[in-house]
């Protein structure tokens, strides 16, 4: 039987992945590893660790683990490392692939709503403002959020990650470059603005999307509802409702008051599920079915 490890099993994503792995039908053995544990040979492993830990672990373990799925941003922009959302670009994994990156949670929700529209419209520009949950910052941020006097208590904080030389936050740059890589649209313009809000779990985004053609709202809704794990709701959907769900929800769709080739909408999805652990589980399912 194949063995699949969860490395960083005690973090927020690692714990969620433990529950996700129970949904996998193909029999396999799960092994859990924390910071102090010795890691043996494994058929596959998911690194649920931050960038520097993932970089170190990769160097230590690359010859001992058949396939590595990394949740951090460390390898996402490396040209030979596929950045995979199984509903969108499973074809990015090939026989030669040994390391797979799972995308940023905010980008995942965004591209889930852009991917199904590509067959109808040539998408050219997207603006989004995010309302990102505390759980997206891992267990330390959750602890801080529950500490009296936290900056995040009853607040919204317009900085996620660190400010870069060009003034963008690191989270915003992920939104640009990961969107282009996953959708294989190197020229799509992305205008991101990322904000942490006092919501414990499930991210939301307000999105404005521009195409070369005029949008037809019925076509957009049909395309969304035909896509796996994506639903359009005529009623508003909030993060309280999307938390714990596998579905990415879109609502409030409308055409721009002046330009028919622009639409505006709101999305909400569970950052720990589709934005992280569910996506990793789907990648492992794919590996178990096709490659392992
Ligand atoms: N949270 C989200 O919504 C989300 C979404 C998408 C992607 N991600 C990414 O997923 C990764 C994990 O995020 P998280 O939110 O789960 O963070 P987290 O709650 O801080 O968990 C990270 C875990 O990794 C463990 N760890 C660190 N170095 C290790 C090592 N050498 N061996 C084994 N375990 C080690 C830590 O152990 P200690 O407890 O000992 O420190 C901690 O339990 C990050 O790269 C993050 O950017 C997160």
Return the C-alpha torsion angle 219, 222, 227, 230, nearest 10: 110
Same domain, 111 and 207: yes
Write the CB contacts of 189 (distance below 8 Å, at least 6 apart in sequence): 124, 125, 126
Tell me, what's the pLDDT at 233?
A: 98
For 202: left if phi > 0, alpha if psi spans -120 to 50, otherwise beta; the answer is left
Q: Is 106 in the pocket of ligand 1 (CB under 6 A)?
A: no
User: How do residues 138-157 score in pLDDT, each as one tens digit?
Assistant: 999 999 999 999 999 999 99
Q: Per DSSP, what are the bridge partners of residue 123?
A: 211
For 184: left if phi > 0, alpha if psi spans -120 to 50, otherwise beta; the answer is left
User: Strands, DSSP E only, in the chain?
Assistant: 3-7, 29-33, 42-47, 65-70, 99-101, 123-131, 156-157, 189-193, 196-197, 203-211, 230-232, 248-255, 262-269
Return the C-alpha torsion angle 13, 174, 172, 115, nearest 10: -90
Count of domains for the chain = 2
Tell me, what's the pLDDT at 106?
A: 98
Tell me, what's the pLDDT at 248?
A: 99
DSSP, collapsed to helix, strand or coil, labels residue 173 as helix
Among residues of the chain, what percentage have pLDDT more than 90?
100
Same domain, 58 and 192: no
β-bridge pairing 203-211 and 262-269: antiparallel
DSSP, collapsed to helix, strand or coil, labels residue 279 as helix
Same domain, 99 and 110: no
Same domain, 286 and 259: no
Give the span between the Cα atoms of 192 and 79, in whole angstroms.
Answer: 23
Same domain, 176 and 283: no
Distance from the alpha carbon of residue 103 to the mean position of ligand 1, in angstroms: 14
For the chain, how big is the Rg over CA atoms in Å?
A: 19
* Residue owning the nearest CA to atom 43 of ligand 1: 11
For a substitution probing ligand 1, which of 7, 20, 49 has the most ligand atoms within 8 Å of its CB?
A: 49
Same domain, 195 and 256: yes
User: How do residues 94-131 score in pLDDT, each as one tens digit?
Assistant: 999 999 999 999 999 999 999 999 999 999 999 999 99
Domain membership of residue 138 as a residue range: 106-271
For a substitution probing ligand 1, which of 6, 7, 8, 102 has the most ligand atoms within 8 Å of its CB?
A: 8
Residue 85 near residue 105 (C-beta atoms within 8 A): no
**How far, rounded to the nearest angstrom, does the alpha carbon of residue 41 sit from its chain's CA centroid?**
28
Same domain, 12 and 80: yes
Same domain, 60 and 185: no
Distance from the alpha carbon of residue 45 to the mean position of ligand 1, in angstroms: 14
**How is residue 95 written in tokens?**
């026989």
Tell me, what's the pLDDT at 2?
A: 97
Q: How confident is the model at residue 173 (pLDDT cuts 50, 70, 90)?
A: very high
Same domain, 85 and 111: no
Give the span between the Cα atoms of 32 and 289, in whole angstroms.
Answer: 22
Phi, psi of 181 (to 5 degrees): -70, -45
Same domain, 77 and 126: no
Distance from the alpha carbon of residue 53 to the mean position of ligand 1, in angstroms: 9
Q: Is 216 in the pocket of ligand 1 (CB under 6 A)?
A: no
Mean pLDDT score across all residues of the chain = 98
Q: How confident is the model at residue 40 (pLDDT cuts 50, 70, 90)?
A: very high
User: How do residues 41-55 score in pLDDT, each as one tens digit?
Assistant: 999 999 999 999 999
């Amino acid at each position: 039987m194949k063995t699949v490890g969860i490395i960083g099993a005690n973090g927020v994503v690692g714990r969620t992945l433990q529950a996700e792995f129970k949904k996998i039908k193909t029999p396999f053995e799960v092994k859990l590893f924390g910071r102090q544990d010795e890691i043996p040979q494994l058929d596959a492993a998911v690194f649920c660790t931050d960038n520097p830990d993932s970089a170190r672990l990769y160097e230590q373990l690359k010859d001992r683990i058949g396939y590595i799925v990394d949740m951090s941003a460390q390898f996402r922009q490396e040209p030979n490392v596929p950045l995979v959302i199984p509903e969108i670009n499973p074809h990015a994994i090939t026989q030669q692939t040994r390391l797979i990156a799972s995308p940023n949670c905010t980008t995942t929700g965004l591209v889930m709503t852009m991917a199904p529209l590509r067959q109808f419209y040539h998408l050219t520009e997207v603006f989004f403002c995010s309302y990102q949950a505390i759980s997206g910052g891992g267990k330390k941020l959750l602890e801080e959020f529950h500490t009296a006097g936290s900056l995040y208590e009853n607040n919204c904080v317009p900085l996620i990650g660190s400010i870069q030389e060009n003034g963008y936050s690191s989270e915003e740059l992920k939104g640009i470059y990961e969107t282009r890589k996953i959708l294989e649209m190197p020229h799509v313009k992305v205008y991101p603005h990322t904000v942490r809000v006092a919501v414990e779990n499930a991210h939301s985004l307000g999105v404005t999307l521009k195409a070369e053609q005029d949008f037809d709202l019925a076509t957009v809704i049909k395309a969304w509802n035909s896509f796996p794990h994506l639903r359009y709701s005529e009623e508003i959907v909030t993060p309280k409702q999307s938390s714990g769900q596998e579905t990415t929800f879109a609502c409030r769709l409308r055409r721009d008051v002046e330009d028919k080739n622009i639409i505006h909408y709101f999305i909400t999805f569970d950052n720990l599920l589709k934005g992280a652990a569910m996506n990793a589980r789907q990648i492992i399912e794919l590996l178990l079915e096709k490659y392992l």
